[in-house]
Chains A and B, each alone.
Chain A
């Protein structure tokens, strides 16, 4: 087995891992805020349905959710996945599989994030909202200019935990034949009957989560220019 050839292939696989990781974050954080607001809504049905949804998603395995998503177009809308692929303008079935995985990841992580975000928002004292109100600020202005940065600061630590978990959860994508780094590694293991590709892929994860840990450390330091 060519060592550098293997490392190269692992890099390609890790590229897919990173793509899934980054896209999940980009979509699930805003969706997490939306779910948090819906769950805190004064309109009872909205709040209840959102809470129920979050409970179901957090209470079931992500792996199952990935699998279930692939049946949604055909079972619910009667669209075979082949046509659904065309509908989304995707080139290959592999792209479609990636989309399914991404969708499941975004929804799953948005639910976890929303719980953290809701906790952060509820943690801001009413006094802060009232101070904004008596100064004639709108609800949106109070959220944007008074509450948001305080929430961000409160949630960085728990969020960074989830985000590091997300790095490792991307390995589940393999179940839907997304060729991320572990899939690549297993292919080598089977082909050459050696374990080392798996160990090398561990190093990729370790390096990346180490980098993230540093980033979060830096962000937390940046945000701690004031105490509450």
Chain B
């Protein structure tokens, strides 16, 4: 069964049709890389998956369960929306860490709030809540360690380099253990010498079997990490296939032009 199934997603902003029917599917542990020139709708697609935008048409399934359908007609309640979006995680191009919290708190804040709300609903005792919090902190420390920042546990984001901030953002997204982790150009805001450390973390997540959707302009990296590649142009999938097919032997003229421009850079 497919872990993620996206069917014919469309999205317009006013008169402008940004996504004109995008469909793809992803198996557990697979990495999908999306490439395409600026303005082709990549960010909008990821934002639709994470319920930051509501698609005008189409549907989304996770593990066979319908998490979104434009046809169902009924609007989701805030609580339903939250539960469904937790299937997905999103790492932003601009990190968006919480500046007033240290690294550990950035990672543990959301899971702590989520768990304590759940436990309070079940009328759990104070000690149960305390134990849950301790467990989340322990998991948080493990995640920060995994992205190689255990020495920065109690630093604030302003004291970290861009690459370190993005690694914290990855740990933060993992803390809620999403089924599918999305990356929107995770290295585009970084100095070239800092992209490597972030890409290595993403690579290691693939080795751990994470299911991921990665939008990137790093072609070498894309080629190495992808199980499946989509080239987007003007809101449609212009070409898709294995990395060998798309990078090695592109069929569409647009893809050829795009790749040529990319590699000359």
Contact = CB atoms under 8 A, between A and B. Distances in A.
Nearest to B157: A226
Contact of B100 (A127, A138, A141, A226): A226
B96 A131 contact: yes
Contacts of A131: 92, 96-98
Given A135-B176, A227-B158, A145 B85 contact: no
A228 interface: yes
Contacts of B158: 226-228
A225 interface: yes
Contacts of B89: 134
B11 interface: no
Q: Is the contact region of chain A dominated by helix, strand, or loop, or is it mixed?
A: helix
Q: Size range of the interface on A?
A: 20 to 34
A145 B99 contact: no
Contact of B172 (A135, A150, A226, A227): A135
Interface string B57-94: 00000000000000000000010001101101110101
A227 B157 CA distance: 9
Q: Size range of the interface on B?
A: 20 to 34
B133 to A, nearest CB: 14
Contacts of B146: none
Interface stretch (B108-116, B203-211, B243-251): B108-116
B124 interface: no
A138 B82 contact: yes
Contacts of A226: 99-100, 156-158
Nearest to B109: A145
Nearest to B94: A127
A141 B113 contact: yes
B113 A133 contact: no
B10 interface: no
A127 B98 CA distance: 10
Interface in A117-176: 125, 127-128, 130-139, 141, 145-146, 149-150, 153
15 contacts: A127-B94, A130-B92, A131-B97, A131-B98, A132-B110, A134-B52, A134-B90, A135-B109, A135-B176, A136-B114, A136-B176, A146-B98, A226-B100, A226-B157, A226-B158
Interface of A: 125, 127-128, 130-139, 141, 145-146, 149-150, 153, 225-228
Given A134-B90, A134-B173, A153-B100, 10 more contacts: A125-B96, A127-B96, A131-B92, A131-B98, A133-B52, A134-B89, A135-B176, A136-B83, A150-B99, A226-B156
